[in-house]
Amino acid sequence: MENLNFILEQINGSTSILTFFFLCWAACYLLAFFEYRGSHSIGSAFVGLPPAISLMLIMTSEKVGELTTRFTVWTWRFTTGGVLPFSDVQTIFLTLGVTGTAISVLLLIRILSRPYLGEWPWMGAGLIAGGYVVISTLFHVFG
């Protein structure tokens, strides 16, 4: 078990580090684009974006959620060995990270599949993921 905890700690730690550096690069990329574009208000900055920039914005938000989740799990494993329950603060960070990741992935599916397949791919993925959460929660509570 100790070896498994170490391996999972390494996976979450290294992924958090790589995600952090991706976010640094993404921030530089997006800042350079918005400086080039010359937008001065937030509302006009996000209207009529090129597809690559739209994807980069959503990927960046997805990676923020992933980093939040993985870093929270890493700190939990590092500080408690993965034995104690999550603290209230860790639970909040996990909830925010997972929610941000889920919404961002649904938006990615929507942007990439909408021109060819319409609205059903992202709606179906959201319904299946939501159904999984509900059913697994019911089994956990009543099972």
**Annotated domain spans of the chain:** 2-142
Instruction: Indicate the pLDDT class of residue 45, thresholds 50, 70 and 90.
Output: low
Average pLDDT over residues 41-54: 77
Q: What is the pLDDT of residues 66-97, one digit of tens each?
A: 999 999 999 998 888 888 999 999 999 999 99
Helices (H), ranges, the chain: 2-37, 42-45, 51-80, 88-117, 120-142
Q: Cα Rg for the chain, rounded, in angstroms?
A: 18
**Eight-class DSSP state of 87:** P
Q: What is the pLDDT of residues 129-140, one digit of tens each?
A: 999 999 999 999
**Model-level pTM?**
0.84
CA dist 19 to 13, 56, 62, 63, 98, Å? 10, 14, 10, 6, 15
Distance CA 8, CA 75 (A): 11
